[in-house]
């Protein structure tokens, strides 16, 4: 994604990187949710603004 000029961040805008311990789908109540946003550089900041309003 980054090589193509895109951005990948969490919903707070911090750079996101997949780590070995990350699990994208967990079914138990104690799981930590890891939301990510992947988009092109032209709209990324605007999409983050919209997400923060929700």
Q: What is the pTM of this model?
A: 0.65
pLDDT at 34: 72
* C-alpha to C-alpha distances, 3 to 6, 7, 19, 41, nearest whole angstrom: 7, 9, 19, 12
Cα separation of 2 and 46, whole Å?
18
- 12-44: per-residue pLDDT in tens? 999 987 766 655 554 444 445 578 999 998 999
Could you tell me the residue ranges of all domains in the chain?
A: 1-17+33-54
pLDDT at 20: 64
pLDDT at 17: 79
pLDDT at 47: 96
């Amino acid at each position: 994604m980054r090589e193509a000029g895109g951005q990948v961040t969490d919903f707070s805008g911090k750079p996101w990187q997949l780590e070995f311990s990350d699990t994208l789908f967990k079914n138990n109540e104690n799981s930590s949710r890891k939301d990510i946003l992947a988009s092109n550089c032209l709209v990324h900041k605007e999409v983050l603004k919209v997400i923060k309003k929700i």
